[in-house]
């Protein structure tokens, strides 16, 4: 009987030790949200500056060249992998994996149910062959200015069409209207 008492008395210590080494889910979510918010804000500011300086065709260069650099800087600071993905991708590297596809579908359902666009994110910890990975997705919701490059094909300006054809010959990222989810900002961190 004493043996069971000792085991039960020691059990909470083992549980606490396990919890102490496990990552804090709330902390990971906060870090991912802050990272995503900062990245979206920085990219949005640079897009507005480019639009003002040279119009939508110039803004395409910001998305192609600056967005990956902004994400790489954030990744270096946080140790997270960061990318933008969409089933209607512009960048050939922006194809979503199964988790990202499911995340975007879930976020689209929440948007359709009336949830505010700024609250549309999701996260989970998934098991992979290499261990546990924290996954986070933030919806990239179309703003009115985004339609200059992602709107209906017949409404894109000739200079935007020419730049898109030159930069992204296999572009699928058009046909959107404001308020739609264009893709997700995807964040991963190995645990």
pLDDT, tens digit (0-9, with 9 covering 90-100), for 20-65? 344 588 999 999 999 999 999 999 999 999 999 989 998 998 888 9
- Which one, of 55, 156, 140, 57, lies nearest residue 94 by Cα? 140
Locate the domains of the chain by residue range: 25-190
Given a cut of 90, is residue 14 above it in pLDDT? no
- Which one, of 125, 25, 40, lies nearest residue 82 by Cα? 40
* pTM, rounded to two decimals: 0.84
Per the CB < 8 A criterion, the answer to whether 143 and 179 are in contact is no
pLDDT tens-digit map of 146-178: 999 999 999 999 999 999 999 999 999 999 999
pLDDT of residue 23: 56
Tell me the C-alpha distance between 68 and 84, whole Å: 9
- pLDDT band, residue 89 (cuts 50/70/90): very high
Given a cut of 90, is residue 94 above it in pLDDT? yes
Q: What topology is assigned to 25-190 in CATH?
A: Beta-Lactamase (3.30.450)
Buried b (16+ CB within 10 A) or exposed e, 87-121: eebbbeebebeebbbebbeebeebbeeeeebeebb
Given a cut of 80, is residue 90 above it in pLDDT? yes
């Amino acid at each position: 009987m004493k043996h069971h008492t000792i085991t039960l008395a020691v059990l909470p210590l083992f549980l606490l030790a396990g919890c102490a080494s496990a990552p804090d889910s709330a902390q990971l979510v906060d870090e991912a949200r802050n990272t995503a918010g900062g990245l979206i804000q920085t990219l949005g500011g640079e897009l507005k500056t480019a639009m003002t300086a040279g119009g939508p065709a110039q803004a395409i260069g910001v998305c192609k060249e600056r967005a990956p650099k902004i994400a790489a800087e954030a990744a270096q600071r946080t140790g997270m992998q960061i990318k933008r993905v969409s089933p209607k991708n512009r960048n050939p590297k922006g194809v979503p994996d199964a988790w990202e596809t499911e995340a975007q579908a879930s976020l689209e359902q929440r948007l359709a149910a009336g949830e505010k666009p700024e609250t549309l994110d999701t996260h989970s910890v998934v098991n992979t062959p290499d261990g546990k990975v924290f996954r986070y997705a933030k919806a990239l919701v179309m703003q009115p200015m985004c339609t200059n490059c992602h709107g209906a094909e017949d409404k894109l300006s000739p200079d935007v069409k020419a730049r898109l054809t030159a930069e992204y010959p296999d572009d699928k990222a058009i046909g959107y209207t404001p308020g739609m989810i264009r893709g997700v900002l995807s964040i991963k961190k190995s645990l």
